[in-house]
C-alpha cells in the first residue's frame, strides 16, 4: 500500500469542481417523435396565434347575437376541416360542429340542445351573448409568447404543444456518449460461475441502468484487467467515440489500482479523494492529452473513476455523475428533488466525512418519515436496494437525532 498523493477534498467542493469542468454539449434538431425525455436547447416561441382561427367549442348553430329569439334560415354547415364558404347573410344561421370555423358574420354559437329545428329553419333562444361557445384566435397562444423554456425536459404535454404550433423538429442537446468499463482481475461476466476469489461484475449493470436513467447513450465495454497497458489501450480506443468515461474499481491506494495514474497520463485529475462516505476514492478528470483526439468544440472529455464497492459506485454516481450528465444535456435542474423528512432514527455522523445515508420513506399523517436501510457498509448493496432517498449527514454533525427534520434527496417515492 502507498499513501495517496491526492488531497482529501470536501464533498461539496468536489461536486462544484466536477460541474465547473463539465461541458454543456452541442445542439441537434430532432423530429418531435424522438424528443421524449430530451432537453430543449432554446426557448420555443409562438410564431402564429393558437387557435389560428375562431373555432366552435360545441355542436350547434353559428348565429348573430342580435338575432336572439328569431327563427333563422339554415344556409349551410361548418364542420371541422370543412369551413362554411363566405359570410352568413342576416337572419340566417350555419350548422356548426366542434372544431369548425366560425363563419364570417356570426359572433356566437348556440348549442344544438338550446334550439328548435323545423325543416331548414332554426329558432334560437331569447338571450344570446356575443362571443359564446367558441375559442377566439390566440386564446391559447399569441405570437411572441414563450411556449417552452430552454432547459425543459420534453414530455407528452410539451411535445404536444410544440406539435400544435406546427414544429416538426425541436432543438435539443445531444445526449452524452458514455464509455462504461469495469476494472478488476476478480470480476467475471454475470451468469458465469465465479472461480476461487472471483465475483460477478455487477457494477456494470447497475451503472448502465443509472446512466440510461440519467439520459446517457452507453457503450458497454466490459471488464478491463488490472494491467496498465491493456487498460490504457481499452480506454484510449473507447474515448475516440465518447464524451465521458465511467469506470468502476481501481481507484483506491492498493498497488493494483491503476485508474488514477492512467487518467493523469491522459489529462488532469481534478478530484482524487473526497471527504465522502461512501466514496472516498472517487476520482474526476478532464482528458485532453494525446493520443486522444482534440477536444470537441464544447470542451474536453470528462472521466469519472468510481470506487469498486457497489454502494460507493452508485452513491458517487448520484452525487457527482448524474448532475454532470444533466449539465451536459442542458437540464435547468441538475439535482434530484429534495423533500423535508422526519428522521425515524439517530443519524450518526462520520468524523471528517460527509455521509449519504440510505433510507426508506413512509407517511405518518402529513409527514414523510425516514428509516435507515440498516448497516450502511459500502459493500452492502442491500443498503441501497429499495432505498427511497439519501440523507446527507454533514461530517461530525451530532444534531441529526431521531425526530429532527432534514431535506432528503428523493430517489423515488414509495
What residues make contact with ligand AMP under the rule CB under 6 A? 182, 184, 187, 199, 201-204, 248-252, 254, 307-310
Q: Which three cell numbers stand for residue 359?
A: 433510507
Of residues 176 and 308, the one with the C-beta less far from Mg ion: 308
- Residue 184 beta carbon to ligand AMP: minimum distance, rounded to whole angstroms: 5
If 0-12 CB within 10 Å is exposed, 13-18 middle and 19+ buried, where does residue 413 land? exposed
SS3 130: coil
Per partner kind, with CB cut-offs from 5 to 8 A, the member of Mg ion, ligand AMP, none near residue 309 is: ligand AMP
SS3 327: helix
Number of neighbouring beta carbons within 10 Å of residue 9: 20
Of residues 153 and 376, the one with the C-beta less far from ligand AMP: 376
Contact residues for Mg ion (CB under 5 A)?
184, 249-250, 308
Of residues 248 and 383, the one with the C-beta less far from ligand AMP: 248
Of residues 194 and 293, the one with the C-beta less far from ligand AMP: 194
- Residue 216 beta carbon to ligand AMP: minimum distance, rounded to whole angstroms: 18
- Residue 292 beta carbon to Mg ion: minimum distance, rounded to whole angstroms: 24
Q: Which residues pair with 76 in a beta bridge?
A: 94
Per partner kind, with CB cut-offs from 5 to 8 A, the member of Mg ion, ligand AMP, none near residue 311 is: none
Residues 27 and 39: their CA atoms lie apart, in Å, by 10
**Please, are residues 243 and 287 in contact by the beta-carbon 8 Å criterion?**
no
Of residues 119 and 196, the one with the C-beta less far from ligand AMP: 196
Of residues 56 and 203, the one with the C-beta less far from ligand AMP: 203
- Residue 259 beta carbon to ligand AMP: minimum distance, rounded to whole angstroms: 8
Residues 146 and 37: their CA atoms lie apart, in Å, by 20
- Residue 393 beta carbon to ligand AMP: minimum distance, rounded to whole angstroms: 23
- Residue 39 beta carbon to ligand AMP: minimum distance, rounded to whole angstroms: 30
Number of neighbouring beta carbons within 10 Å of residue 245: 25
Spatial CA neighbour of 175 closest among 304, 332, 24: 24
- Residue 266 beta carbon to ligand AMP: minimum distance, rounded to whole angstroms: 19
Spatial CA neighbour of 2 closest among 273, 309, 287: 273
Residues 256 and 267: their CA atoms lie apart, in Å, by 20
Of residues 51 and 310, the one with the C-beta less far from ligand AMP: 310
Of residues 184 and 310, the one with the C-beta less far from Mg ion: 184
Per partner kind, with CB cut-offs from 5 to 8 A, the member of ligand AMP, Mg ion, none near residue 194 is: none
- Residue 204 beta carbon to ligand AMP: minimum distance, rounded to whole angstroms: 6
- Minimal CB distance residue for ligand AMP: 308
**CB under 8 Å to 413, separation ≥6 — which residues?**
361, 388
Per partner kind, with CB cut-offs from 5 to 8 A, the member of ligand AMP, Mg ion, none near residue 54 is: none
Residues 186 and 197: their CA atoms lie apart, in Å, by 7
How far, CA to CA in Å, does 363 sit from each of 159, 336, 382, 388? 34, 20, 22, 12
Residues 166 and 231: their CA atoms lie apart, in Å, by 50
Per partner kind, with CB cut-offs from 5 to 8 A, the member of ligand AMP, Mg ion, none near residue 307 is: ligand AMP
**Please, are residues 315 and 390 in contact by the beta-carbon 8 Å criterion?**
yes
Per partner kind, with CB cut-offs from 5 to 8 A, the member of ligand AMP, Mg ion, none near residue 202 is: ligand AMP
Residues 312 and 276: their CA atoms lie apart, in Å, by 10
Per partner kind, with CB cut-offs from 5 to 8 A, the member of ligand AMP, Mg ion, none near residue 201 is: ligand AMP
Per partner kind, with CB cut-offs from 5 to 8 A, the member of Mg ion, ligand AMP, none near residue 279 is: none
Amino acid at each position: 500500500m502507498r499513501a495517496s498523493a491526492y488531497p482529501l477534498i470536501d464533498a461539496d467542493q468536489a461536486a462544484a469542481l466536477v460541474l465547473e469542468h463539465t461541458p454543456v454539449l452541442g445542439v441537434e434538431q430532432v423530429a418531435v417523435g424522438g424528443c421524449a425525455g430530451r432537453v430543449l436547447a432554446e426557448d420555443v416561441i409562438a410564431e402564429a396565434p393558437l387557435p389560428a382561427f375562431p373555432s366552435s367549442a360545441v355542436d350547434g348553430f353559428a348565429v348573430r347575437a342580435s338575432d336572439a329569439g328569431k327563427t333563422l334560415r339554415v344556409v349551410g354547415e361548418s364542420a371541422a376541416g370543412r369551413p362554411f364558404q363566405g359570410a352568413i347573410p342576416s337572419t340566417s344561421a350555419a350548422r356548426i360542429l366542434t372544431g369548425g370555423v366560425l363563419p364570417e358574420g356570426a359572433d356566437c354559437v348556440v348549442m344544438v340542445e338550446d334550439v328548435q329545428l323545423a325543416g331548414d329553419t332554426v329558432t334560437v333562444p331569447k338571450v344570446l351573448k356575443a362571443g359564446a361557445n367558441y375559442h377566439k384566435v390566440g386564446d391559447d397562444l399569441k405570437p411572441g409568447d414563450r411556449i417552452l423554456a430552454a432547459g425543459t425536459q420534453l414530455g407528452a404535454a410539451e411535445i404536444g404543444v410544440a406539435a400544435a404550433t406546427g414544429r416538426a423538429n425541436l432543438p435539443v442537446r445531444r445526449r452524452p456518449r458514455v464509455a462504461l468499463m469495469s476494472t478488476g482481475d476478480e470480476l467475471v461476466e454475470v451468469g458465469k460461475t465465479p472461480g476461487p476469489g472471483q465475483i460477478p461484475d455487477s457494477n456494470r449493470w447497475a451503472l448502465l441502468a443509472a446512466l440510461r436513467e440519467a439520459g446517457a447513450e452507453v457503450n458497454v465495454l466490459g471488464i478491463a484487467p488490472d494491467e496498465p497497458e491493456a487498460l490504457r489501450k481499452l480506454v484510449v480506443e473507447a474515448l475516440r467515440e465518447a464524451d465521458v468515461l465511467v469506470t468502476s474499481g481501481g481507484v483506491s491506494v492498493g498497488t493494483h489500482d491503476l485508474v488514477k495514474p492512467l487518467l493523469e497520463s491522459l489529462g488532469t485529475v481534478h478530484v482524487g479523494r473526497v471527504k465522502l462516505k461512501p466514496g472516498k476514492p472517487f476520482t474526476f478528470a478532464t482528458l485532453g492529452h494525446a493520443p486522444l483526439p482534440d477536444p470537441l468544440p464544447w470542451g474536453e472529455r470528462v472521466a469519472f473513476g468510481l470506487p469498486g464497492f457497489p454502494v460507493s459506485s452508485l452513491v458517487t454516481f448520484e452525487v457527482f455523475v448524474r448532475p454532470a450528465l444533466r449539465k451536459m444535456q442542458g437540464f435547468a435542474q441538475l439535482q434530484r428533488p429534495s423533500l423535508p423528512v422526519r428522521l425515524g432514527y439517530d443519524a450518526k455522523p462520520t468524523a471528517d466525512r460527509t455521509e449519504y445515508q440510505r433510507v426508506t420513506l413512509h407517511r405518518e399523517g402529513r409527514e414523510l418519515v425516514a428509516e435507515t436501510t440498516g448497516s450502511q457498509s459500502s459493500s452492502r448493496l442491500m443498503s441501497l436496494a429499495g432505498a427511497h432517498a439519501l440523507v446527507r449527514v454533514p461530517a461530525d454533525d451530532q444534531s441529526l437525532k431521531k425526530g429532527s427534520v432534514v431535506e432528503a434527496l428523493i430517489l423515488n417515492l414509495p
